[in-house]
Structure 1
Amino acid sequence: MNQQLSISNRLQRIAAYLPRKPHFADIGSDHAYLPCYVCLIDDKAKAIAGEVVEGPFLSAKSTVKANQLESAIDVRLGDGLAVVHHDEVKQVVIAGMGGPLIKSILENGIDKLGNVERIIAQPNVDAKAVRKWLHNHGYEIVKEEIIEENGHFYEIVVADKMDIPQKLTEKEFMFGPILLLNKTTAFYEKWKTEQDKLYYVMKQMEQASVPQTEKLDRFTNELTWIEEVLHDEERDNES
């Protein structure tokens, strides 16, 4: 068995949020690097690697076979959570795609989440949409992290099923309730980048022939929040 499987820091950090002896589904598994990595370091782990596209599906099967993990990882071809049977897994990982797509996968497969104790999402954009879906469906955000890799910032959102609903503000949906409490260098760098993007978009909207007042008001509010959290960095540096 190949114990030297090399995966990105992003995937290693996602793997770190799985418990010992997990039984999880990795949706959009691509080459199945994450399930293979987890099952190589934890011989009690079981995984489903789901892929909707045949090319990555075949690549995933090849990776699993190369690491002699056929007994631990089941590679399945299908759309989203359709690859999972009812009450089959306890954790779900959906990483490396846009927030709206992650939200759609969760919504379309909501009947498969009955036994799912933890959802680990890594949206490339619009983490707010994911946080709102989790919040509205009985999952509490318990851990969050921002990492920078190859010039990109990635947010990891970890949510556990809870009986008592979590109450979050719009600002917490946007930045992340845990991230707001633990602002790292990567957090500040990400939001400086987002601030620049928002400045540009708002300038274009202001010059448009058809006014988009409602959207411009929302962006103005978001820009104010960004400026507030970036001001926190200035205070930290001064102290």
Structure 2
Amino acid sequence: MVKLSKRLLTIANIVPEGARLADIGSDHALLPTYLVQQGRVPFAVAGEVNKGPKEAAERQVRDAGLTGRIEVRLGNGLAVLQPGEIDAVSIAGMGGALIASILDAGQEKLQSVQTLILQPNVGEDLVRRWLRQHGWHLAAETILEEDGKIYEVLTAVRMEAEHRSDVPLYAERTVEETTLRLTEETLLRMGPYLIREPKDAWFRKWEYELDKLDMIRKQLERSTSESADDKRAELEVEKNRIREVLTCLRKDRP
């Protein structure tokens, strides 16, 4: 029986029971193998863009005795799929820009898909923006920490009648009992669900982000160009926005 990391197990628990899953960039087909072994999904496709990872995934599937129930395919993103054969897609461990580009390039392969489970390593806001612009409702967000790294898992479903628009999800609002005004941009960047009930891992993520912005600012201080001055000013605005959110939400915690 395959054992999953905390990150992959979090994703596995989100996959709808009985779904036909495509796991893009499958990392030894660990997630599909686990889900089929558990009886959670009847069939899965493991997609890999390079020959070496594809062969490793094939060995995993063969050793687990799941040939025929998991198909390992070589191809770029959703190009490995046939229209109509999959209900759910998972894409994990890539940058948000790459995930968005994979989804964008493979839109015709998503016609039968009802659930997207996406775990960007960076650029989560780019994924949220793509979902919002292409008729997908952000249904849930999860944040977790494992081996010193923090991951966000975004779950999206097709925009049905009750979700004609994600406008309410990203509507500007004031946090109760504070003066903090959450803008649409802040919600897209920091997560509309995560910001509603922030966990310790979420606070740590944004403290790390502040540290990164400080490092960039110090590098920019070595330059005297006008563009560097503009960039430093932008960084200060961003840092102040993040600090304000963290400070107010810490006060708001029970």
Normalised TM-score (structure 1)? 0.92
User: How high is the sequence identity, in percent, across the aligned residues?
Assistant: 40
Q: Secondary structure at the match of 1:68?
A: coil
Q: Tell me how far apart the structure 1 counterparts of residues 203 and 238 of structure 2 sit (CA, whole Å).
A: 15
User: RMSD of the TM alignment (CA)?
Assistant: 1.7
The counterpart of 2:214, out of the listed 196, 199, 209, is 199
1:209 to partner: Cα distance: 3.5
1:112-191 correspondence to structure 2 within 5 Å: 112-163=109-160, 164-167=164-167, 168=170, 169-191=184-206
Q: Which residue of 2 aligns with 1:47?
A: 44
Assess if the C-alpha contact under 8 Å between 1:138 and 1:161 holds in 2. yes
Residue identity in the other structure for 1:110: Q
What aligned pairs does 1:1-239 form with structure 2 within 5 A after superposition?
4-42=1-39, 44-163=41-160, 164-167=164-167, 168=170, 169-210=184-225, 211-212=227-228, 215-236=231-252
Distance 1:228 1:81 in 2: 40
Q: Is the 8 A contact 2:35 2:41 kept in 1?
A: no
Task: Measure the CA separation in 2 of the matches of 1:227 and 1:16.
Answer: 33
Distance change in 2, residues 1:220/1:159 (3 Å): farther
Give the TM-score, by structure 2 length: 0.87
Q: Distance in 2 between matches of 1:92 and 1:84?
A: 10
Counting matched residue pairs gives 235
Letter of the 1:174 partner, please give it.
Answer: R
Shift of 1:118: 1.0
**Larger deviation, residues 105-114 vs 212-221:** 212-221
CA distance change for structure 1 residues 87 and 64 in 2, over 3 Å: closer, same or farther?
same
- Unpaired runs of at least 5, structure 2: 171-183
Equivalent residue letter for 2:250: E
Whole-angstrom distance in 2 between the partners of 1:217 and 1:138:
35
Gaps of 5+ in 1: none
Task: Give distance in 2, aligned partners of 1:86 and 1:53.
Answer: 22
Between the aligned partners of 1:94 and 1:110, the Cα distance in structure 2 is 14
